[in-house]
Amino acid sequence: MFSGIIADIGVIARAEDRNGGLRLSIETRMLGMGDVQLGDSIAVNGVCLTVVKKEDNFFVVDVSRETLNCIVGLEVQGARVNLEKALRLADRLGGHLVSGHVDGVGEVVAFTDLGESWKLVVRAPQALAKYIAVKGSITTNGVSLTVNEVDGAVFSINLIPHTMAMTTLSELHAGEKVNLEIDLIARYVERMLAAEKE
């Protein structure tokens, strides 16, 4: 589990083909690899991946073709990516509970500078629209964000300067694709309601 609070912006230093999947070597400056063990999970742009090798300033993960078919942003060598280590039981939950399992790929509709903040407008896949609510949480490229407006499958969020400085969301533009994960609570509420109808 993760919180959606980004610890570092890493760089995909190397992307090697592995039988249709990829082996990624990711450089990090501030993530802190000292307490990371082989087999630990690290979220990369919101995708939960398993560490198979590590050094002080980089780690290596394998990404299957099935995962690559469901996400965006991990196939380009040199790309900057949002990084977060898995939560420990004693950690503060500053964002919201995030599983690192991408539910769908959205598209940036608009990204507007409002002066004191930035408004990011995203079109989610239609199947995810029912899970997105005003003042609810959504994860975009691994970042925990609060939804401000919803219109069908289109939602908007405001980004404060701190979020812009500490994540790769500042690099987005209209037409770009983003990884989305809906709030776990919304998913479980739907399941409970469906079970009551059975």
pLDDT of residue 58: 96
Mean pLDDT of 74-97: 91
pTM for the whole structure: 0.94
pLDDT(95) > 80:
yes
What is the DSSP code string of 86-142?
A: PPPTTS--SS--B-S---EEEEEEEEEE-SSSEEEEEEPPGGGGGG--TT-EEEETT
Look over the chain and give the mean of its residue pLDDT values, rounded to a whole number.
95
What are the structural domains, with CATH classification, of the chain?
8-85 (2.40.30.20), 104-197 (2.40.30.20)
pLDDT of residue 156: 98
CA-wise closest residue to 47 among 99, 105, 125: 99
Residues in the chain: 198
Q: At 11, list the tokens.
A: 């760089």
- For residues 50 and 67, the answer to whether their CB atoms sit within 8 Å is no
Q: How many CB atoms lie within 10 A of CB 183?
A: 21
Q: Which of 20-24, 75-79, 142-146, 191-195 has the lowest mean pLDDT?
A: 191-195
CA distance 106 to 176: 8
Give the pLDDT band (50/70/90) at residue 92: confident
The secondary structure of residue 2, as a DSSP letter, is B
CA distance 16 to 38: 19
pLDDT(198) > 80:
no
Indicate if the alpha-carbon torsion angle 44, 46, 49, 51 is positive or negative.
positive
Higher pLDDT residue, 40 or 189? 40
Q: Which of 26-40, 75-89, 137-151, 183-197 has the lowest mean pLDDT?
A: 183-197
pLDDT of residue 129: 95
